[in-house]
Chain A
């Protein structure tokens, strides 16, 4: 069974800092990996999706990387803002047939003004 871990569980940084969120998974045979953002009391919003054949994806101030062989992905947030405060979750898709996703428990980010 695929296990997905996100460390740390919580992170507090001052505004303007660049930061990295980590996601690790136990089975490297993944199809893709997706990063989400969740605001309190809300659903999940997709941020970036990386296919297994890709090394990274970028959207604005966000950059996600994937190293399948080591079972790791990172989400880099540049010049953090208070509006970035949320919980960030990663999800691994097992293969292209079963369409199943395995989620980490998330990293709760607080960006202080």
Chain B
């Protein structure tokens, strides 16, 4: 299994509070992603990173920010949590090199409940 951990694995928080989720990898892969998974919507990309300090928005980025100060860590912050952000959040990594390993590997997920 690819070395990807997410913390916390479960979190309950209140509306309006900031929340930070952490993704840590030991594979030294260049690309890292944050997805959310909701019933009926599949996985949707929130933000992704293509290198240290290099990030870009996905299709559902409103209300979220990210940071990547080291290759191995990618943080997702909910600025002011809302009930609509209750979801399961997955981190993924990819070497992304053409002709090499282009597989996307996923972490175990974080279940977030916003009350």
Residues of A within 8 A of B (CB): 4, 32, 34, 36, 41-46, 49, 51, 89, 91, 93, 96, 99-101, 103-106
Contacts and interface: CB of A to CB of B under 8 A. Distances in A.
B106 interface: yes
A3 B45 CA distance: 13
Given A43-B107, A46-B103, A101-B33, 15 more contacts: A4-B42, A41-B109, A42-B108, A43-B90, A44-B90, A44-B106, A46-B104, A49-B102, A49-B103, A89-B42, A89-B43, A96-B98, A99-B31, A103-B35, A106-B42
A42 B88 CA distance: 10
Nearest to A48: B103
A46 B105 contact: yes
Contacts, number: 50
A100 B42 contact: no
Top 3 nearest A-B pairs (CB, nearest first) are A43-B106, A105-B42, A103-B43
11 contacts: A4-B42, A34-B104, A42-B109, A44-B43, A44-B90, A51-B102, A91-B43, A96-B98, A99-B31, A99-B94, A105-B42
A91 B106 CA distance: 13
A15 B92 CA distance: 32
Interface string B77-100: 000000000000010101010100
